Amino acid sequence: MINVVLVNPEIPNNTGNIVRTCAATGAKLHIIEPCGFSWEDKYLKRSGLDYWEISDVNRYESMQAFLAANFKDDADIDGNIAQAVLKTKLKSGAQFFFASTKSDHNHTDVEYKEDCWVFFGRETRGLDEELLRDNYSDCIRIPMRAEARSLNLANSVAIIVYEYHRQMDYVGLKEEGNLTKY
């Protein structure tokens, strides 16, 4: 399964849409606080529709709490989140990717393992550059025109989640549909 990690998302509609994408694909969603919205936000709930019930959403108060919960890493971050993430990645052997427009690796050029972790940053700034620098060989980007700054966060998550599933031959996903009137 792919693990989608949102680091400090800011826009409730995007997060709600990501919940829906993760629920529809079986991806596990991890959200690292602080967020730029309230969890009671009507736009968050509306964009997630009734998919909240079938989604696997986990919230963490900090990056340290996320690392401790998922990797049993009790290392003290001491303000250096980038080094803590790098250390956890190396120690656990987990496959981490960092989605960023600042990467020179295409998201389709990597081979996703079954249990991978893809980190996405906030809508206005992306992931911290220190985190990207310390993990640059694992940074991936979605190609786009040079004049464009970035894609919408929810769209970026969907593109990468579906590339993961394409590489996994869509195992566990329904690949056919039926007309409802005929």
Show the beta-strand stretches assigned E in the chain: 2-7, 28-32, 56-60, 95-99, 116-120, 139-140
The phi and psi torsions of 39 (rounded to 5 degrees) equal -75, -5
- Residue-level pLDDT at 74: 58
**Pair 54, 21: CB distance under 8 Å:** no
- Residue-level pLDDT at 111: 98
- Residue-level pLDDT at 38: 79
- Residue-level pLDDT at 51: 77
3-state SS assignment for residue 96:
strand
Which residues are CB-contacts of 176 (< 8 A; sequence separation ≥ 6)? none
Against a cut of 0.85, is the pTM above it? yes
- Residue-level pLDDT at 14: 93
Q: Mean pLDDT for each 10-residue chunk of the chain (182 residues)?
A: 97 92 96 87 61 88 93 68 88 95 97 97 96 96 95 97 98 93 92
